Amino acid sequence: MKRIFSGVQPTGNLHLGNYLGAIRHFVALQHDYDSIFCVVDMHAITLWQDPTELRAHTREITAAYLAAGIDPKACIIFNQSQVPAHAELAWIFNCITRIGWLNRMTQFKEKAGKHRENASSGLYVYPNLMAADILAYKATHVPVGEDQKQHLELARNVAQKFNYDYEVDFFPVIDPLILGSARRVMSLRDGTRKMSKSDTSDMSRINMTDDRDAVAKKIRKATTDPEPMPGPDVLDTEGELPEETRKQRPEAYNLLGIFATLEDRDLRAVLTQYEGAQFSQFKKDLTDLAVSRLGPMGEEMKRLKDDPDHVDSILRDGAERANAIAQPIVRECQEIVGFLRP
Ligand code: AQP
């Protein structure tokens, strides 16, 4: 069976974008693949995290996986730092990746901001750790949101260069699985920026644990424009929204895309239903829909928050199973490199 690996960083404020762009797909794919879902705490500390909060957020992501419907018996759920193979392989990849490749990574530029020389070196080599996460399990398929596409291309290049440099056929080719219509959910305040955990404005995102009042307020205050809602004629012949059209009304199309994905309908049907309507009615319907989809998961996450022993036991069991797969692969890789293990 083909293997998938994916992860979410425990950096707090888990949001609708993480759910629609990633976690929802983990649930859908879990029985078709040998599935490994990680809470990537080592990635999280590329930006400083309060240790107490990091522990709480690690449990929170685990709770989100469980609440969304990932079965910990069928899949492996664990946190990255419990399995040494990730760090061991990442070091080898630090020595394979070229600096020029890392310099092209847009996420580093965005996260490092203007004062790049003050960013951690961990943030810079983040894509190498991500490549190690995947390849320590020889996973071939990686379900992620569109924002991670560039990192996955780098991971592919690392695997190919390793195979080439050492004249082996050791690492497989990685395939990104960027699925569905909500590949990039945008901020509720600014349709040109992605919805993000680290956005300082809580009004920019719908958190998975938001209650009805919070969801209603955020959607009511979401930026829109004064025009009535567009109709299906904005779509091209393939039923896709042309990028140029999206750019003209990014906030409106973002909300429409969220609606279509949450309802599991295509965008054409939603545009047909709301053509010419005012945003106020649409926003009420979107609130009801978002609450009906996220509400039960948020409740379950809150319940699991009060049961940390259960969550920890899942992470412990997952780490043992993950280690059993990753350790032999990384040992073999170290032998290829020439590390002596007398
Ligand atoms: N806005 C988004 N739309 C669709 N998918 C998204 N993902 C993140 N934001 C969106 C997907 O969620 C998964 C886990 O992401 P991550 O924890 O690695 O965080 P990130 O990609 O760096 O983005 P976040 O969640 O907003 O965090 P910050 O603010 O820290 O950057 C990935 O599959 C990602 O594609």
Which ligand 1 atom is at minimum distance from the Cα of 187?
Answer: 1
DSSP 23: I
Asked if residue 198 has its Cβ within 6 Å of ligand 1, the reply is yes
Specify whether 284 is catalytic.
Answer: no
Does 85 score more than 90 pLDDT? yes
The string over 201-215, giving b where at least 16 C-beta atoms fall within 10 Å of a residue's C-beta and e elsewhere, is eeebbbbbbbeeebb
User: Quick one: tokens of 28?
Assistant: 């859908």
pLDDT at 270: 96
Q: What is the mean pLDDT of residues 305-331?
A: 98
Average pLDDT, the chain: 95
Q: What is the mean pLDDT of residues 88-107?
A: 97
ipTM of the complex: 0.96
Please report, to the nearest 10 degrees, the dihedral formed by the alpha carbons of residues 328, 334, 336, 337 taken in order: 170
Does 240 score more than 80 pLDDT? yes
Q: What is the mean pLDDT of residues 211-217?
A: 94
Q: List, as residue ranges, the binding site for L-tryptophan.
A: 133
Q: What is the mean pLDDT of residues 133-138?
A: 98
User: Quick one: tokens of 314?
Assistant: 């899942």
Q: What is the mean pLDDT of residues 289-302?
A: 96
Q: List, as residue ranges, the binding site for ATP.
A: 9-11, 17-18, 145-147, 185, 194-198
Which ligand 1 atom is at minimum distance from the Cα of 13?
Answer: 25
DSSP string, 141-173: EEE--GGGHHHHHHHHHHHHHHHHHTT---SPP
Asked if residue 72 has its Cβ within 6 Å of ligand 1, the reply is no
pLDDT at 145: 85
Helix, strand, coil: what percent of the chain each, to 5? 60, 10, 35
Higher-pLDDT residue of 240 and 52 is 52
Does 288 score more than 90 pLDDT? yes
Closest CA to 4 of 23, 19, 18, 184: 23
Asked if residue 301 has its Cβ within 6 Å of ligand 1, the reply is no
Which ligand 1 atom is at minimum distance from the Cα of 7?
Answer: 14
Asked if residue 286 has its Cβ within 6 Å of ligand 1, the reply is no
Task: Name the 3-class secondary structure at 138.
Answer: coil
In the chain, where the domains are located:
3-182+308-337, 209-304
Q: What is the mean pLDDT of residues 128-138?
A: 98
- Determine whether domain 3-182+308-337 maps to CATH 3.40.50.620: yes
Q: What is the mean pLDDT of residues 226-248?
A: 93
Q: How far apart are the first and last CA of the chain?
A: 34
Asked if residue 9 has its Cβ within 6 Å of ligand 1, the reply is yes
Does 1 score more than 90 pLDDT? no
pLDDT tens digit string along 155-211?
999 999 999 999 999 999 998 888 877 789 999 999 999 999 989 999 999 999 999
Q: Output the CA 198–ligand 1 centroid distance in Å.
A: 10
Higher-pLDDT residue of 180 and 99 is 99
* Residue percentage of the chain with pLDDT more than 90: 92
| Residues linked to residue 79 through DSSP beta bridges, in sequence order | 39
Q: What is the mean pLDDT of residues 221-248?
A: 93
SS (H, E, C) 270-317: HHHHHCCCCHHHHHHHHHHHHHHHHHHHHHHHHHHHCCHHHHHHHHHH
Q: What is the CATH number of domain 209-304?
A: 1.10.240.10
pLDDT at 171: 98
Q: What is the mean pLDDT of residues 78-90?
A: 98
Specify whether 302 is catalytic.
Answer: no
Domains 3-182+308-337 and 209-304 share a fold: no
